[in-house]
Structure 1
Amino acid sequence: MVKYAGAFALGIFVAGKVGAGLVWCLILTWILTLAVMAGRSRRRGRDSSQWLSVALLLLWCLAGIIRLTSVNENQPFSVREYIGRKVTVQGNIRGVPQILNGSAGERRVRYELELKHRLASAEGLPQPLRGGLRITAAQAESQPVGAAGDSMVATGTIRRFNVYHNPGQPDAETALAVRGLDARMTALPGTLRITRHDGMATFADYLFRWRTQVRTALLQAMPNTDASLVMGMLFGGYDGIDRQTVRDFAATGIVHILSVSGSHIALVAGAIFWLTRRVGLHDTGSAMVAGLAMIAYGLISGFSAPVVRSVVMGAIAMAAIGLGQRDVAARALTLAVIGMLVYEPRYLFDISFQLSVACTGGLLFFAPFLQECLEPFKRCKATRFAVTGIGATVAAELAVLPLQAWYFGVLPTYSLLANVIVVPLLETVILAGLAGIVLAGGMTGVSQVIFVGISLLTGMAVELNRFLSRLPLAVVSLPAFGLWGCAGYYFVITWLCGIWKIADWSPSDVRRKMKKNPVKSAGLTLFAAACVALAWQQPGPLQVHFIDVGQGDATLVITPHGRSVLIDTGGTPGPQTEFDVGERVVVPYLRHYGVSTVDCLILTHNHQDHAGGAAAVANMLGVRQALLHVPESDESPAILRLRRAMRNRGMRDAADVEKFKVDGVCFQLYQAGNAVSMASGRSVKKQSESENGQSTVVRIEFGRYSFLVTGDLEGESETRIGKMPMGMSTVLKVGHHGGRKSTQREFLTKVCPQYAVISVGVDNRYGHPAPETLNRLREWPVGLFRTDRDGAVVFHSNGQDLTVSRTIP
C-alpha cells in the first residue's frame, strides 16, 4: 500500500510542478504499452504480474494528476476573475478576525470573508461571487470588530496575494488556497459595513468565547508572556509570543511544539490510554476513550491539516488496538496520507504535512533499527527511558533532514538535548494545562494551583532552551540536498536500516566483508574520501541570484569558490511592519544555498525596500564588511539598525571603494550622485535630485559576461552614470523596480543588455513596472524577467557560457 500512496503523491507532485497535459499523455501511453507487454507475456505462458503491477502504479499516478487538476480548475463566478478590478463585495465573516497594529485612534483588522455576491449599483441586481477573500480594513477603536457569521459589505480592488516565490520558501500561495482564500482586498475608507448575525451562534463563536475564558483564567495565575506561550502550545499559533522566544525554539529544533500537530495528539492519546488502563479499563475501552479524547482535542484546537491527519491516523491505530491488532501503524499512516491527499491534494505542498509524514515515517521505519543498535546501553530503567527517547529523536531527525535542509538551511546542533531536556517539561505543561482547563469548570482553586505550576515550568523550559540556543555552534549551515541528493540520501538511509537490500549486500554483509579484507576496505574508503575532497575543492560556476523580496531589491552573488556578496536586502516599503523580509525571506534564501556568513554587503541606498532586511542578515548570519554611501545625517532607521547589529565594525563608505575582486569576479562601484568632468574625466561631487538618484551602481564582471545592478537609478542619474567609463553589460537589473523614469533609451544604448530583470512586488500600489518602461525594453529587445511573475531569477556562468533559471516555470 505504501507504494500506491507514493505513486498517487508522485502524480500530484508532477501535475503541480510540470503541468497535467503532457504528463497525462505520457502516462496513458505507458499504461497501454505495459498492458500490451502483459498480454504478450500471458500468450507466451510467462508471468505477467510484474507488468500489471507497474501499470497499476501508473494508474494511481494518473489518479493523482486527475485529482489535483480537478481541484485547480476555476469554479464559475470565482473571485479570481476580478483580480485587478475595483468591486463591492458581500459575504459572511468566517473564523476569528485578526487585529493588527494601526495608527493612533484606529486599528487595522484582517477578516476572512466567504463571498456571496458582487454588488454593482449600475447593473442593478447583485451578481453571484464565489471564493474566499482576505479583507484588511482600518476601523476606529470605537467601532466594534465583526465576528464569525456576521455579514460584511466592502469596496476595494481585488488583488493577488503578495507571496515570495523562492527555492526553499514554503508554498504560501497553496497554503492560502487550501484555507479557501483566493485573493485579498484593502477596504476603501468609509466602505466597510458589518451587519450582526442574530441567528444561532456557530461553533466558531462558542470556541472563540471559550478560548477567551481560558486565556482570562491563565492570566489570573501567570504573566501575559507565559499565558501566550501556553495558549500557543495548547491550541497553536504565535499570537502574543515574544519573537525572540520563537527564534530560540527554532534554533534548538523544537518550534513545532508551538503548533498543534501529531506530537500533541499522540501525547494526549497516550496519556488517556495509560490513565484508563490504570483505572481498570481493558484495551478496547481504553482505546475508545483515547480516540474520543483525540477527536475532542482536535475540535478545540481547530482541525488544521496536521491535526486532521494525526486524528485520522490515531483513530485507525486505536481501532486496531481495540480489535487486538497492534502492528498496523505503517498501514494507518498510509491510509491517513491517502485519505488526506484524496480530500485535498494540495496538502502535499504544505510544509507541515511534509514534515509530519516524514517524522512519523522515521519513527515507524528507522526507530526500530536504532533501538536495536542502542540495546547495549539499556542497563536500567532510567537509561532505558533515556535511550528510547534518544533513538526516537534521532530517527525523526534523520527522516526530516532533507526537508530541514531545503526549507531552513540549518541543522539545530542541540536538538537532541532540547528534545531530551526541554520537550518533556513542555509536554508536562500541555497535559497539566488541559487538566487545569477541565477542572476549571468546578474546581477553580485546584485549576489555579495547576496554572501557577505550569507557569513555573514554562519559565524554566524557556530559560533552558534559551541557554541551549546561545551555546556555540547552536545552528550549523546545512545547504539544500537537491532532488538527486535527497533520493541518494533516502536510498542509503533505508538500506542502512535494513528496510531493503540488494542480493547479499545488506549492511551486515558489507561489515563482514570489510572485516575480512581490512586493508582493501581502508584503501577504498580513503580513495572515496579523496574523490569527495577533490570534488569539493573544484570551483563552481558564478551564481547571480535576483531574489524575490516583493516590492524591493536583493541580489546575491556566489563566487566560484563559494564566497558571497549581497547587494541590498529587501524590506517592506513604507513604515516598518512586524514582518521582517531580512529574517523571513533573505536569510532563509541565503541558508538554502549554503551561505553561512556574508563576506560583503553592499547597500545601494538607505531606503527601507533596499536596506530594511540588512540588520536581520547581520544579526542572524554575520557580515564581514558592509559598503554604503549614506551621510550620517541622512541615515534611515534601517541603516541605524544595521549599525547597531554590526556594532559599527566593518562598515565603509562605498564612495571610497572603486573596485575589488573576489575569486576572480570583479566588482566595480559607481556613485550616481557624482558627475564626470568632461575636461579631466574625473568624478566631481554633485547633489542628486533625490535619494534614488544617489544609488550606488554595482557592475559585476566574470569572463565574457557582466551584470549591472542599478538600485533605484532613474532619469538624470542614469545620464550621469552613462557618462562614466563603463562598458556594456550582459544583464541589467532595471532601476527603481521599472518605474516610469528608469531605463531610458540612451541608458539602454550605453548598457546594451541581452537580459533585463525587474525586481517588483505583485500588484504593488506604485504601478511598477510602468508601461512606458516595459515598452522600451520590448523595443530594444531583451530577455525580460520579473520577480512578481517568475519568482527568483538565477544566472549561472563559468565565464564562457551563461544559463538562466526561474522559480516559477
Structure 2
Amino acid sequence: MNTKYPLLWSALFLALGVVLYDTFPSFFMRWPWVFPLAAGCFLLFSFLFRGKRGLLLMVVFLCILTAGMGRMFLADRYYEQQSSWAAGSEGRWTGIVKEAPSVNRDGDAYARYYTELESITYSDGVEKSLSGTAFVYDTHPEKLYGTGDSISVTGKMTAVRIYKNPGKIDLEGRYRSRRLMGRIYPQEPEKIHFLGESGEYRAGRLADEIKGKVESWFKPYMDPLRLHILMTLLFGGNYNEIPEYIMTSFSATGIIHILSVSGSHVALLFGFLYFLGKWLHLPKKLVVGGSIVLVLFYALLSGLVPPVIRAAVMGILSVGGVFLEREKTSLNLLGAAVAGMLLWDPFYLYDVSFQLSVGASAGILLFYRPLMGELSRISFLPRWVKEGVALSTAAQVLTIPVMLYDFHTFPLYFIPANLFVTPFLEWVIIAGLVAAAAAPVCLPLAGGILQGADYLLWAGLHLNLHLSSWPGAQVQTGGLTMVQILLYYVTVGICYFKKEIFSVPKRMYGALLLWCSLLGLTFFFYITRPEWVVYCPDLGPDQGAVLVTGEHKILYYKGGSIPSHTSDWEWKSILGYEGIFDADILILNLEDVKEPLPLTLPVPVREIWVTGGRAQEKTPRLLQGFEGTIRALSKSRLRLGRLSFVTDGSSWLLSEGDRGVYLSGRRGMEKTSFPAHTLWIASGRKNGAGIREEEMDRVKAEAVVYGGSRLSSSFEDVDLFEFKNYQAANVYREGMQTASFRHKWELENTSWL
C-alpha cells in the first residue's frame, strides 16, 4: 500500500465502514463466495504489511473502518427518531419550506415543496408535534412560496415508496439523508395556505432572492429557453425548465455533469480569479482569501447539496495547497474533503452525484499525467488536443462502473464533446458570473456580456445536439455485476501500481492470484448461466416480467388500476440494466386498467399481443410510432419457434417441453395442463379475491413470484404459498426477483451476479 496518501486511504476505509454497516450481515449471507475472496485479500495484505509498521497501519485503518460503521450507526439512529408514525395520517399539517420549490409546468403541472414538518392537527382537534420532512405538492400552483415560509395544508400523508430494483440511482439513501417521511397532497378543493415568514433558513432565502434578482437582470438580454439553461449552468437546479431533448443530448455526449455545480465550476472560478489577481498585481494572500470567500458565497447560492459542498471544500483545500506551495498533496486534500463530508453525513456516499464527482476528481489526479505521458508520443497532435483527451479520459476511468450501473449506457463521443462543446459552455459560465457581478454596478455592460454569452450558448447547444445525433452516440451496455465491478477496479489498481506490485515477487503473485480469481469467477458465472431466466421487477401497482431463453426475449406487462409514471421509468431502467435492448413479443394485460397508462415502448419489439382491452385506448403513448404487428387476443394458442403460448384472454402459459411460466390474470386457467416445472407469476384477482388452494394443487408450481398488488390478499396468498412449502416471494415487499431454470426453478433476490 502506498502510504504517501494517508488521508485518501482513510477516506476509503471510512466509506467501506459505512457500506459494511448498511449491508452486514446480509452482504455475506447473500454472496458466500465473498468468504474465500476475503481470505485471499487477507493473505495479500499479509504480504504487503510486514513488521511493526505494517501492523500499526492495519490497526489504524481498522479503527477508521470501525469509525465509519459507528458514524453510520449514529446517522441511522437519528433517522429513526423522526415521526415515521405519521405516515398514513390525515389532518392539517404545518411546516416550514426548506428550499425553493421544484416546479413542473408541462403536462400535469405541480409545485413540490420540501418541508420541515412541525405539527399535525387531526379532525377531532388533537394536535401533535412532528419531527421529519415531507414533500408537499400543490397541483394547481398559482402562487409560489419561498424558503423559510410557514405553510399549512389539509390532506393525507402517503409514505415514500421505494421501488426495490437494482441498477438505478439510490433514492433510499437520499431520502434517509433528508429525513423524508412521505408526500402530502391537498384534499380538493383545499390549497396550501401561507402562514407568514418563519425567520428560519435565512441563508437559503437570501440565496433564492439573489438568484431571482440575477435572473430578472438577465431576462431582457437572453432568449427565455437559454436563460433557464444559463441559470442551471451557473447555480444548478431548474432542470424542469429545460426541455427533455436538451437534457437527453447532454446525457448522450457525456457532459451532463456541467449542468450541476461541481469541481469544474469551482476550478473555473478559481482560475478566473487567479488570472484577474495576477493581472491586477494583487498580493497572493489577498487573492487566496478573496477566492475562498467568493467560493463559499457561490456554494451558498448554488445550494449546499453534496456535489457543491465537495467542490467547495476541495477547492478551498486546493487553494491552501497552492498557497503552501504543496500542490502534490491534492490526493490527500481530496481524501480530507471526502472524509469530512462522510463524517458530516454518511448518506452522501449513496448520492450518485457525489460518487461521480469524487470518482472523476480522483481519476484526474491519478491518471491525467500518465495519460499525457502516453499521448506525448503522438507528435502530430496539438498539445490542447492531448490535454483535452487526457483530461476527459482520466475523469472517466474510475466512474465507468458507476455510470453503467445507474444509466446502462456509455457516451461514445465524450472526448469530442469535452474538446469542442465544453469550452463554449465554460466561457458561458464565466460570462454569466461576470455579468452577475457587473449588473448591480453597470447593467448595460452586463447586458452586452449576456448577449455575447447567448450566442456562445446557442452555438454550444447546437453543436452538442449535432454530436448526440451521430450514430452510436450512446452505446447500450447494461449494468455490470458485482464480480465484474471488482475485476475492473482490481485491473485499474494493478495497472496504476504496477511498479510497486511487480517489483516484489510476493506482491506480484498475490495481485495476479486475486485478478485471476475474479476473472475465473466471471467466466464461471458466464458458462453456468441458466437455460431460462425470468426477471420480475418491482413496478408498484403494475406487474412486469421478462423471459429470456436461448432464442427469444418475451416481455409481459400487466397494468394496474392506478396510472403510474414511476412504473414506466422503473420498467425501462430494469430492462437497460439487464441488457434487454430488443424483444420478440410484448404481452399486454389491460384487464385492470381504468385510465390510460403513461406507458411507453421501452425497447424495439416485433409484435404486441393484447388481452383485456383495446391498446389504442388504454396505452396510446405505447403505440406512437410503432410499426409492428398488434394482435388483440381472447382464447388463443400461438407458437414462436419451439415456444408455445396459451391464453384464455386473462392468464397466459408460456411453455417449452417440461418447463413453463404461468402468468395469471384476474381469472385462473382452469382447463389447462401445466408442465412439470412451472414458475407461477401471480397477481391480485378480481375484487381482491385470493388464490384458491385447488388452483395451487393443479398448477404445482416450483416457485411463485407475487407482484403488482399491495392488498392484504396478496400477502395472505404469499403466506399460503409459504405454508404449503412453495418457494414464494412478494415483489412489493421483497423487491425484484430473478427466477432461473437449470434443472428446476430457483428464486434469487437480485441479479448482481
TM-score surpassing 0.5?
Answer: yes
Residue 198 of structure 1: CA displacement?
7.0
In the other structure, the counterpart of 2:241 is 240
Aligned mates of 1:254, 1:102 — CA distance in 2 = 25
Aligned CA RMSD, in angstroms, stands at 3.6
Q: Which moved more, 1:150-159 or 1:318-327?
A: 150-159
Cα distance in structure 2, aligned partners of 1:783 and 1:263: 51
Match for residue 392 of structure 2?
Answer: 393
Distance in 2 between the 1:192 and 1:556 partners? 43
* Rounded Cα–Cα distance in structure 1 between residues aligned with 2:234 and 2:459: 18
Which residue of 2 is the match for residue 645 of structure 1? 625
The answer to whether residue 532 in structure 2 is matched with residue 542 in structure 1 is yes
Q: Distance in 1 between matches of 2:416 and 2:306?
A: 29
State the one-letter code of the partner of 1:467. Answer: H
- What residue identity is the alignment partner of 2:394? A
* 2:221 alignment partner, SS class: coil
* Contact 2:558–2:590, Cα closer than 8 Å, also in 1: no
Residue 176 in 1 paired to residue 175 in 2?
yes
Q: CA deviation digits over 1:128-172, x for unaligned, max 9?
A: 32111222244574xx44333233333433332123221111111
2:531–2:549 CA contact under 8 A, matched in 1: yes
CA apart distance, 1:776: 5.6
Q: Hey, what does 1:227 align to over in structure 2?
A: 227
Give the match for residue 31 of structure 1.
Answer: none
2:85 counterpart of 1:81: yes
Residue 1 of structure 2 corresponds to residue 16 of structure 1: no
How high is the TM-score relative to the length of structure 2? 0.85
1:668: which partner in 2?
645
By how many angstroms is 1:499 displaced? 5.9
**Amino acid of the structure 2 residue aligned with 1:418:** A
**Residue 191 and residue 415 in structure 1: after superposition, are their counterparts in 2 closer, same or farther (change >3 A)?**
closer
Residue aligning to 1:759: 707
Contact 1:568 1:614 in 2 (8 A): no
Give 1:593's aligned residue. 578
Note the C-alpha offset of 1:116. 2.3
For the 8 Å contact 1:20–1:65, the answer to whether it is kept is no
Distance in 2 of aligned mates of 1:549 and 1:722: 27
Larger Rg: 1
Distance 1:95 1:768, change over 3 A: farther
After TM superposition, list the pairs within 5 Å mapping 1:90-489 onto structure 2. 90-100=94-104, 108-120=110-122, 122=124, 126-138=127-139, 141=142, 144-189=143-188, 190=190, 192-197=192-197, 202-237=202-237, 238-377=239-378, 383-489=382-488
SS at match of 2:295: helix
Deviation sequence 1:254-308 (CA, Å, 0-9, x none): 1111111222222222222222223223544333333222212111111110110
Displacement after TM superposition at 1:70 (Å): 1.0
Equivalences for 1:383-782 in 2 at 5 Å?
383-498=382-497, 501-504=500-503, 540-560=530-550, 563-568=552-557, 573-574=562-563, 579=565, 581-582=567-568, 584-605=569-590, 612=597, 615-617=600-602, 621-629=603-611, 635-636=616-617, 638=619, 640-646=620-626, 648-654=627-633, 658-661=637-640, 666-672=643-649, 695=650, 697-701=651-655, 705-710=659-664, 713-714=665-666, 717-718=667-668, 721-727=669-675, 730-736=678-684, 740-741=688-689, 743-760=691-708, 767=711, 777=721, 782=726
* AA aligned opposite 1:230: L
Q: Judging changes above 3 Å, is the alpha-carbon distance between structure 1 residues 570 and 228 closer, same or farther for their aligned structure 2 residues?
A: farther
Q: Which amino acid counterpart does residue 401 of structure 2 have in structure 1?
A: P
Structure-2 change in CA distance of 1:3 and 1:637 (3 Å): same
Equivalent pair of 2:13/2:61 in contact (CA under 8 Å): yes
SS at match of 1:183: strand
In the alignment, is the contact (CA less than 8 A) between 1:88 and 1:156 conserved in 2?
A: yes
Tell me by how many angstroms 1:590 deviates.
Answer: 1.7
Alignment check: 8 A CA contact 1:756 1:782 kept: yes
1:217-261 deviations in Å (ceiling 9; x for gaps): 333223322112112111112121001111111111111111112
In the aligned structure 2, how far is the partner of 1:335 from the partner of 1:571?
49
Give the counterpart letter for 2:383 in structure 1.
Answer: R
Q: Which residue of 1 aligns with 2:735?
A: 791
Alignment partners' CA distance in 2, 1:82 and 1:557: 40
Task: Give the whole-Å Cα distance in 2 for the aligned partners of 1:532 and 1:183.
Answer: 41
Supply the AA of the counterpart residue of 1:605. L
- The aligned counterpart of 1:679 is none
Q: 1:783 to 1:153 in 2, by over 3 A?
A: farther
**Whole-angstrom distance in 1 between the partners of 2:597 and 2:28:** 43
Moved more, 221-230 or 384-393: 221-230
What SS does structure 2 have at the residue aligned with 1:670? strand
Superposition deviation, residue 488 in structure 1: 1.8
How far did 1:573 drift?
A: 3.1
* 5+ residue gaps, structure 1: 24-45, 511-528, 673-694
Label 1:534 to 1:158 Cα distance change in 2 as closer, same or farther (>3 A).
closer
Counterparts in 2 of 1:724 and 1:535: CA distance versus 1, 3 Å: closer
Q: Distance in 1 between matches of 2:393 and 2:660?
A: 46
CA distance in 2, matches of 1:21, 1:804: 14
Deviation at 1:781, TM superposition (A): 5.9
Change (3 A) 1:500 1:15: farther
Q: 1:661 to 1:426 in 2, by over 3 A?
A: same
Equivalent residue letter for 1:221: Y
Q: Larger RCO: Structure 1 or Structure 2 (Cα < 8 Å, ≥ 6 residues apart)?
A: 2
One-letter amino acid matched to 2:90? K
Contact 1:738 1:770 in 2 (8 A): no
SS state of the match for residue 600, structure 1?
A: strand
Residue pair 1:755, 1:782 contacting (<8 A) in 2 also: yes
Unaligned runs of 5+ in 2: 1-5, 30-49, 510-518
**3-state DSSP of counterpart to 2:729:** strand
CA–CA distance in 2 between the matches of 1:389 and 1:288?
A: 30
Identical amino acids, percent of aligned pairs = 22
Q: CA deviation at 1:778?
A: 6.1
What does the per-residue CA deviation read over 1:703-730, in whole Å, with 9 as the maximum and x for residues that have no partner? 75532123xx22xx33xx3134555774
Is this contact kept in 1: 2:234–2:433, CA < 8 A?
yes
User: Is the alpha carbon distance of 1:652 and 1:501 closer, same or farther for their aligned partners in structure 2, counting shifts above 3 Å?
Assistant: farther
Shift of the 456–599 alpha-carbon distance from structure 1 to 2, 3 Å rule, reads: farther
In structure 2, the CA distance between the partners of 1:394 and 1:303, relative to structure 1 (3 Å rule), is same
For the Cα contact (< 8 Å) 2:104–2:241, is it kept in 1? no
Counterpart of 1:294, as a letter, is: V
Q: Following the alignment from structure 1 to structure 2, what is the Cα–Cα distance between the partners of residues 757 and 466? A: 43
Read off the aligned partner of 1:16 and give its amino acid letter. Answer: D
Equivalent pair of 1:790/1:806 in contact (CA under 8 Å): no
CA contact (8 A) 1:291 1:315 kept: yes
CA distance in 2, matches of 1:410, 1:140: 36
Q: Given that residues 705 and 730 in structure 1 are in contact (C-alpha distance below 8 angstroms), is that contact kept between their aligned partners in structure 2?
A: yes
Contact 2:233–2:258 (8 Å) recurs in 1: yes
Question: 1:553 is matched by which residue type in structure 2?
Answer: Q
* Shift in Å, 1:410: 1.1
Question: How far, CA to CA, are the matches of 1:744 and 1:219 in structure 2?
Answer: 65
Question: Which position in structure 1 is the counterpart of 2:35?
Answer: none
**Once the two structures are superposed, what CA deviation does each residue of 1:741-768 show, in whole Å capped at 9, x if it has no partner?**
353444434333354333247xx7xx56
- The letter of the residue matching 1:453 is G
